Amino acid sequence: MITHHPDTELLLDYATGALTEPMALSVACHASLCKACASELKRLEALGGTLLEQSDKAQMDATSLNAVLNRLDDPEPEPLRPSAQFDAESLRVLPMPLRDYLPASLEALNWRHIGSKVSQYNLDLHVGNYKISLMRFKAGSAQPIHTHKGQEITLVLTGGYTDQGHHFEVGDFDLKDTRHKHQPVVDSGEDCYALVVMDAPVVLAGPFSRFLNPFIKL
């Protein structure tokens, strides 16, 4: 059961289109797995639409209205990336909004291996300092202790993990920032795929951090 959700401010920013694309992707993926947030987003979007209509009525003259109507007649723009054909395992793991960002099924992706327990695939999405990755953590593994210079969002896609006494499972939206020093421990039984969105690098905090740092450029 999903117990960790984006807060209302994030949902509102998503509904009003105020989020950056990486943040919006993480919220969209969560909402595709979470009925509660999907319906809350619908409510907020309807609310936003009503507010926009009211202000538009006051501002929009005939000329701008015509411009909008003309635009509505334009053909649909081509999708940015053609949807790859995915195998059954990828369709099981990947929420719908994430599929457009991947060129191939999971096994065919160009994974980077960080030690024997973690694999990382960086999405071809470049916005500011954001790093957007699909991660695969081996079942039963403990991650290095680390903290953050910024925000880190982890959206669990398969399996789960325990972190600071909280358990995170499929669909959970885990937002950490500079206040958190943590060491997630992955559930045994199934590898944990996760979408990870960071707006600043990870800082390792354990005894081997100086040794490990060059390898863990997450």
Q: Which residues bind Zn ion (CB under 5 A)?
A: 5, 34, 36-37
Q: Minimum Å distance from CB 30 to Zn ion?
A: 6
Using the minimum distance from each CB to Zn ion, give the nearer residue, 106 or 152.
152
Nearest to 174 by CA among 161, 185, 186: 161
DSSP 215: G
In this structure, the strands spanning 118-122 and 202-204 are unpaired
C-alpha to C-alpha distance for 14 and 100, rounded to whole angstroms: 19
Q: Minimum Å distance from CB 31 to Zn ion?
A: 7
Q: Minimum Å distance from CB 89 to Zn ion?
A: 25
In this structure, the strands spanning 173-176 and 202-204 are unpaired
Nearest to 25 by CA among 206, 155, 114, 179: 155
Q: Minimum Å distance from CB 125 to Zn ion?
A: 22
Using the minimum distance from each CB to Zn ion, give the nearer residue, 144 or 171.
171
**Under a CB-based contact definition with an 8 Å cutoff, are residues 154 and 187 in contact?**
no
Query: Residue 195, by phi and psi: left (phi above 0), alpha (psi -120 to 50) or beta?
Result: beta
Q: Minimum Å distance from CB 1 to Zn ion?
A: 11
Using the minimum distance from each CB to Zn ion, give the nearer residue, 4 or 176.
4
Which two tokens mark 138?
A: 């081996």
C-alpha to C-alpha distance for 102 and 97, rounded to whole angstroms: 10
Using the minimum distance from each CB to Zn ion, give the nearer residue, 23 or 37.
37
Using the minimum distance from each CB to Zn ion, give the nearer residue, 40 or 152.
40
